[in-house]
């Protein structure tokens, strides 16, 4: 059997700076979120810089690369009533076991979602769309991004939350961003915590308009990439 970088992972749940949980992979020496605060990081990068840039009167088709702890999905579920509908597709090759995700705690402080919703996200079936409400559908896929086939012009928003380039370099290559560019609608947005110069250049070469934004607490910058809108009236 071929072994991979993620075989026999040793995972430990810990508390971040804002009181919310994250997971530390002792094998890789990597955390799933910022030690300064998991919730504040995800809100800053994926919600404020991504989801809240979408028009509220549209059905949003969203792709997440790296379901992980489920925090990004939980934050999105909490805001789903502000949109016409959210269809959330998440790719995750190594889902957390129950003995890990049942230890997670995310106090969002708004009352829209709770610990039971987080459990539902993790325990929902894989490979089929699951209806959480009339406004939120989740489809989790045990599929590597390199093997995934998205539809052309399918996604309005991409949460790119894979492990860092030095851990999963193949997920940050220009060919990956070319595929994402093809799958995204014109005007679609991709957000990620990573701000490395090579990543930015690869996004640009794939066709994206890329901007550096201020990062969350503890991180200077992040990236937001937009697929340009083509004016066909000319």
**How high does pLDDT run on average in the chain?**
93
**How does pLDDT run across 143-196, given as a tens digit for each residue?**
999 999 999 999 999 999 999 999 999 999 999 999 999 999 999 999 999 999
Res 86: pLDDT: 98
Q: Which two tokens stand for residue 112?
A: 């829209």
Res 8: pLDDT: 60
Ordered structural domains, the chain, with CATH: 38-226 (3.40.50.150)
What is the CB neighbour count within 10 angstroms for residue 210? 17
Angle between helices 115-123 and 71-78 in degrees, nearest 10: 120
Res 1: pLDDT: 25
Task: Give the residue among 119, 50, 122, 118 at the shortest CA–CA distance from 86.
Answer: 50
**How does pLDDT run across 66-93, given as a tens digit for each residue?**
999 999 999 999 999 999 999 999 999 9
Question: Strand 209-214 relative to strand 221-226: parallel, antiparallel, unpaired?
Answer: antiparallel
Q: Which two tokens stand for residue 205?
A: 């070469």
* Cross-strand pairs, 63: 89, 158
- The alpha-carbon radius of gyration of the chain (Å, integer) is 17
Tell me: pLDDT of 227 over 90.
Answer: yes
- Model confidence at 231, pLDDT cuts 50, 70, 90, reads confident
**How does pLDDT run across 32-53, given as a tens digit for each residue?**
999 999 999 999 999 999 999 9
């Amino acid at each position: 059997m071929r072994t991979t970088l993620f075989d026999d992972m040793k995972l430990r749940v810990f508390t971040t700076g804002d009181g919310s949980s994250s997971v530390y992979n002792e094998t890789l020496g990597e955390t799933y979120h910022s030690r300064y605060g998991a919730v504040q990081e995800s809100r800053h990068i994926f919600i404020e810089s991504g989801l809240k840039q979408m028009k509220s009167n549209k059905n949003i088709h969203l792709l997440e690369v790296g379901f992980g702890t489920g925090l990004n999905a939980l934050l999105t579920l909490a805001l789903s009533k502000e949109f016409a509908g959210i269809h959330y597709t998440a790719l995750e090759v190594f889902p957390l076991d129950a003995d890990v995700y049942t230890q997670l705690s995310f106090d969002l402080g708004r009352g829209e979602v709770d610990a039971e919703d987080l459990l539902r996200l993790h325990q929902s079936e894989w490979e089929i769309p699951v209806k959480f409400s009339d406004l939120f559908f989740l489809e989790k896929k045990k599929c590597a991004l390199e093997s995934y086939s998205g539809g052309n012009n399918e996604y309005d928003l991409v949460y790119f939350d894979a492990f860092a380039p030095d851990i999963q370099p193949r997920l940050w290559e220009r060919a990956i961003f070319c595929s994402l560019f093809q799958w995204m609608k014109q005007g679609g947005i991709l957000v990620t915590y990573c701000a490395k110069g090579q990543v930015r250049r690869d996004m640009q070469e794939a066709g994206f308009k890329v901007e550096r934004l201020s990062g969350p607490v503890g991180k200077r910058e992040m990236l937001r990439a937009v697929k340009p809108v083509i004016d066909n009236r000319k």
